[in-house]
Structure 1
Amino acid sequence: MRFPESFLHFIWQFRLFKALNLFCTTGEPLVILAVGMANKHAGPDFSQAKLSIGERTWIGDVEIHLKSSDWFSHGHQDDPGYVAVILHVVYEHDQPIYRKDGSEIPVLILKDLFPEGLLTNFEGLVNSIHTFPCEKLIHGIDPILVNGVLSRMMIERLAQKSDLVFDQLAKVNGDWESTFYHFLAKSFGFKVNEIPFEFLAASLPLAVIRKHLDHPLQVEALVFGQAGFLFGTFKDAYPQKLKREYRFLQKKYGLIPIGVGAWKFLRMRPQNFPTLRLAQFCALLLKSDRLFSKVLEIEHLPELQQMLKNLPVNPYWKTHYHFQKEAKKVEIQLGSGSVFHLIINAICLFISAYGKYSDQPDLINRGLQLLEKIPAENNVITKSYQQAGVSIDNAFFSQALLQINKYYCVQKKCLNCGIGIKILNQ
């Protein structure tokens, strides 16, 4: 047996076996009236199945195993949750199983009841050495089906990320502005420095920053100080001023900075250095108070792009990538790709999450429609699907591909993917 138990779940759930003239190992005829509902929690694999065994009709649970003896290796004999099992579905029957009252649980053997090609297709997917299991096959799947699956993946991704938003919202007593600040900071980390940016936001409450929005130097001191960059010796006047301001503010608010060692510079282009990202983050905070409220008011993509452009970044960064070394010329504004990254990962997410939270479907749709107007992300993952024949028209579909890759393709959960199921049935 070279397949997981989930393969048999798939066979049972979608009735991909010969269903006529079935018999249990006890010799009784079996008619499957309803396979039941798949159970994703503890307990038998399928509930509310309806079966005719012999001359009686049963409604109850179905348990599925590769071998009958797995009943004992999984400890079901001592679990009261399995007393309502009316059928044991197995690939191989190696041992009879009895209930507490001494009656034998009927067994259906699937081994010779489904097409051999089904197992061959499944093994070809899960044993694939390609970038993703169906890399060599997906080009033959109807694009309408592929797009339908990806649309469901995008909704699933949005739901998962919205749950993270709601978790953070609960930590700050329902303050949407503070929650948006937290996720905006995380997005400014651009994956490589996502974690230290998140730590920074956690260590520096938005309420503290708001008190100093009329004093840009103090906001910059708070951000760079909390990031751990103001504890050295500086030759330039600007970082010296930041250091003096931060010492005072740190004592005033009892702030504990994160370690500077958390930030990553290696193998990065200078324009992506965390110091420059921090300067841009400061500038965005200074450009507009109550950013989340402003985001909710903006309906069109160009306006959102404009909000993230022409930031009042301190002129010091025109000639520096960090505090210790001067550069000839530095582009201090966010590039188009960076702007789209922030809109995708923070703004679209929050518009839709707030729509879900406040029961405003129009906001959920606005977030999704914005993704459809943004160019598709270009990275190693999206390239692999594109090269395999998948059309990626916009960020809606590139985000969906990131979801399906992480939670299905990498984990080889082809049996839970509409594309995988289609390939298996071909």
Structure 2
Amino acid sequence: MHNNKSKIIIAFFTVIVFLFGIYIGRTSTNIDYTLSLNENLPVSRNDFDIFWNVWRFVEENYAERDNLNKQAMIYGAISGLIKSLDDPYSIFFEPKDSQRFQEDVSGKFEGIGAEIGIRDEILTVIAPLKNTPAEKAGLKAGDKILKIGDTITNELTIDEAVNLIRGPGGTMIILTIMSDGTANNRDVSIMRDTINIPIVDLNYITKNNLKIAHFSLYHFTATASQEFGNKANEIIKNKADAVILDLRNNPGGFLEVANELASYFLEKDAIIAIEDFGNKKQEYRSLGINILGNLPMVILVNQGSASASEIMAGALRDNKNIKLIGETTFGKGSVQELQEFSGGASVKLTIAKWLTPKGISIKDEGLKPDIEIKLTDDDLKNNKDTQLNKAVETLSEMIKKN
């Protein structure tokens, strides 16, 4: 899993911060490119004279030239190269940031517990995680982050925003937030803490003599497969009549995990996702576990459903006409590849877009629900889950008709 070259399908960096997304493990050796000054590197298409001329100009004329940090200059140049792509999901990581990336994949770190991305060129909350400081402070999917402390966010990259928001447990961060449907900004003070990513939760709802499994999946982490499998077997053992798969505020995770979990509902070799590289396509297919495939089912989604959760929801709708209930999903439709380099630096680069089994791209558009139900502020204040209620009602009607 944690090899040197991985594919990622995720829009975001989390404020917790997850800097990972959906991965496909791939065996490869570390690329032995040394990120250091070397004027003898081969040049095939571009003339780097201006780069070396500027480099020498700085070396010879900068007021504090005796204190130049050559390695920092090189990393800055590489970072500028990646930023020139104007793609918020392509990032260069210096060794310290690359190490943090790997630590975040473990699923335990310090921060506020929310995932952020850039939507319409505005830093936006994708999903606050369950039982985290962000959720307790009232952050919601779709909230716009205008300031982090005293720093205006309109020109920040995701990684720069992450660095500002993340910090040791027990320290405070103030975010200036604008929520949808409100005219005024508000300052939200959040105490950072150690974050443990929640994975799954299973409860049962009784309605009209039906036992409905409310199966919540919060993230597609490396440990999700085992936990999901245990709960799936519990659903069968307890003879549930139907399943509500709740993917709300699920920001994504490992692609191979999404592929495996979707396989609990699909026959072998059903297409789960398609990678489109422009000149070729690659299909990801069901493993055929399918122990939940015969149960009536609906899926709950919202603005915080992104990446792997969109892949799973799209796969189940395209293959089995399973209804989506809630709100339009985030719309993360690109694929990134993580490449490590010697010295500890790494680059996360967008290499493709992904499509649903029917060949539909959800980039920027998201998955539109079959039944749209929006949670109002009054619903939230009164702890009323109208989306879940609609899911229960829909399943009851489906079973009654059949």
Interval of TM-score (by shorter of Structure 1 and Structure 2): under 0.3
Between Structure 1 and Structure 2, whose CA radius of gyration is higher?
A: 1
> Could you tell me the TM-score, scaled by structure 1's length?
0.23
User: Greater share of helix residues, 1 or 2?
Assistant: 1
User: Greater share of strand residues, 1 or 2?
Assistant: 2
> Could you tell me the TM-score, scaled by structure 2's length?
0.24
